[in-house]
Each structure stands twice: as C-alpha cells, then as structure tokens.
Structure 1
Amino acid sequence: MSRPRILLTAPPRTGKTTVIRRLAELLRKADVPVRGFLSDELRERGRRVGFTVEEFGGEKVVMAHASWVSGPRIGQYGVNVPAFERVALPAMDRALATKGAVALIDEIGPMELLSPAFMPRCEALFAANVPIVATVHQRSRPALQARLEAELITVTPHNRDDLPATLGRLLSP
C-alpha cells in the first residue's frame, strides 16, 4: 500500500508550521515516531529577524538572519546553508531509517533550496515508502508538486485548526 505524501501550502503566516507542530504532537501521543524538522521565525522585540531550523527532538540552529552580511541571501536574510544542512539532512536521513516513522518537513522553500543536497533528500523521501507531510512555499509550489508527486492541501484560516487531527488520522497506523 502506498503511504500518504502530502504537501501543505499557503501564503506566509497562515499557519503551515503550526499545523506541522500540532500534527507532530498528535502523532507522538499515538506513539508514532516523528522525524524531520521545523523551520520557525526568529523574533526580536516583536520583529522577525530570521529563521531557525530544529530537528524534532534534536538540535536547533539559526539558519537565516537579517544581520548576516556574508553568504547567500534570500530577501533581507543572510542564509547559513551549512547550519541548515547540519540539522535538516540528518533529520531527513533518520526519517528514512526509522521503522514506522512519519516524515514532517517544514519547509521546502527558497532558503532550504540553497542547499544542493536538500532537494535530492526530499526526492528520496517522497520516493520511499515513508508517509510524509511537507510544507512548501506558495511561490515554489507548482514546480515542487510536479517533482514530488504528492497530494496538495492549501492551509486556510478555515481548515488550519482541523488539519492536524485530519492528517493524524490519515498517518496513524
């Protein structure tokens, strides 16, 4: 039987990361191993200044910051690709290696795609018999959906509160 492969998309600040975080909590309560990572905003004095990447149950690092002047840039943010890779790539490998795991990837977007190793890891996860839910940047969605062969769900203010439970039922054994 084919395992679910789902891409969540939405405009920024709609709740994609919140859906992934709540889904992870529900799966853990059901004793389903969760592997992968969360990307989250880094805020200082109420203002977004960067982004972190955190492995579920593991390391958390700053992967992008407005004050960084070296390295590649996405918009106003300097991106530390090696820091992202140090957390995200092993987390994705563990999703492939852990029996019964659900892979949660937040997010497949412009910053993450600066890593030359990231998209091949995504393709390996989507090709494997691993259930996966990943968030995708809305502008990247058409190209990624074609490459990753997944069901697309748009997160909206109307469905975001119910999505974690709906996805949890789909992904739990």
Structure 2
Amino acid sequence: MPTRILIEGRPGTGKTTAARRLAGLLRSREVTGFTTAEIRQHGTRVGFALETLAGERAVLAHVDLPGPPRVGRYGVDLGVMERLALPALESAGARPSAGRRAVVLIDELGRMELACSPFREAVRAVFDAEVDVVATVHAHHDPFTDALKRRTDVVLVHLTPVNRDTLAERLAALLEES
C-alpha cells in the first residue's frame, strides 16, 4: 500500500524547508513534484514562486499580478499551476527510471495552488494512484484539504519547532524502507 503523508503546519514553520530537505534525502526513489518559495524585495515578501523538482521555476503569485484570482494581496497566475505543477504530478504515473518507486512531493496544498481546479483534480488522482505522496498543507480549515486529512490511508504529521529539524530525516527513512 502506498505511503501518503500530509505535513501540516502554520505559515513560517518550515514546511517548504522540510519538503526540500526530504527531496534531497531520497536517494533510492524517483521524486517528482514541486516546492514553493517566497519572493522577497528589500526584506518584504512580495510573492511566491513555484519550482519543480526538475528545476523549472515561475512566479505563481505576486503583489503586482492582477489576478483573478486574488489571495490576500497577491494576484495568482493559475497558468503556472497548469504549465509546471500539473505535468510534475502527472509524470508520477510514468514508469520510474531504473525500477525506482515514485514519490510525489507537493509543496503546498494552499489557497493559491487550490484555486486551480485542474490542479485539485490532479491531486485527487495522485492520492488515488499507486505512488507514495508527501504533501505540505496549511493548518486552517479548507474543504479540500480537510477531506484529504480525513482519509484513512493518510498519515497527518504536525510540523512544530520541536520536530522540524528531524522530520525530513524521519520521513526519508520511512520512505526508503517502504
């Protein structure tokens, strides 16, 4: 049975750092997916970039983007989700190279990303596929993420200041064993 893990945490707790560290630790697995990162100018956050694990990068949300949609003060470019995130998730169905099992890494299942309905459908498909999934998720309530959190095949891990420095290593060991 595939491993499905949701890493839940409040903004700034280190979800993206844990996801990136985990991707770097998975040596025997084929890892696909994406991470997000803050865009800062003069010390102030002005947006977010999406970067696939294959190295493609684009601005997902920015204060200067008009939207729609808008999430808070950011306009969101849903085309980035369709051009970068969707192919990264859909490639999980392809045969892993050299017989390595696939792990899909999704950072994050947040309001900006979930504004894209094809992305939500791709996430559902990945969680139903025979691949291991690790996704970061916000701590607040949302119908889509709440449904994922209630799945009996999902392990919900709360990221805290106490476990954030060791979580990636623990998850890597779990995934390398499975």
Q: Report the TM-score, using the length of structure 2 for normalisation.
A: 0.90
CA contact (8 A) 2:148 2:154 kept: no
Cα drift, residue 147 of structure 1: 6.0
Q: 1:169 aligns with which of 155, 170, 173?
A: 173
What 5-or-longer segments of structure 1 have no aligned partner?
none
Would you say how many aligned residue pairs link Structure 1 and Structure 2? Answer: 170
**Counterparts of 2:67 and 2:13 in 1: how far apart (Å)?**
30
Cα drift, residue 138 of structure 1: 1.3
TM-aligned CA distance change 1:148 to 1:96, over 3 Å: farther
- Is 1:160 paired with 2:157? no
- Is 1:39 paired with 2:39? no
- Is 1:20 paired with 2:19? yes
Instruction: Report the more deviating stretch, 154-163 or 141-150.
Output: 141-150
Cα drift, residue 145 of structure 1: 1.4
**Counterparts of 2:92 and 2:120 in 1: how far apart (Å)?**
15
2:116 maps to what in 1? 115
Deviation per CA, 1:62-111: give whole Å up to 9, x if none. 01001122421000000000122210000001122142111100001111
Query: What's the C-alpha RMSD, in Å, of the aligned pairs?
Result: 1.5
**Counterparts of 2:151 and 2:93 in 1: how far apart (Å)?**
19
Q: 1:62 aligns with which of 49, 59, 64?
A: 59
TM-aligned CA distance change 1:94 to 1:26, over 3 Å: same
SS of equivalent to 1:71: coil
1:72 maps to what in 2? 69
CA contact (8 A) 1:14 1:155 kept: yes
**What one-letter code is carried by the residue in structure 2 that aligns with 1:88?**
A
CA contact (8 A) 1:20 1:164 kept: yes
Instruction: Report the more deviating stretch, 93-102 or 41-50.
Output: 93-102
CA contact (8 A) 2:22 2:168 kept: yes
1:137 maps to what in 2? 138
**What one-letter code is carried by the residue in structure 1 that aligns with 2:119?**
F
What 5-or-longer segments of structure 2 have no aligned partner?
none
**Counterparts of 1:94 and 1:8 in 2: how far apart (Å)?**
22
CA contact (8 A) 1:126 1:149 kept: no
TM-aligned CA distance change 1:70 to 1:124, over 3 Å: closer
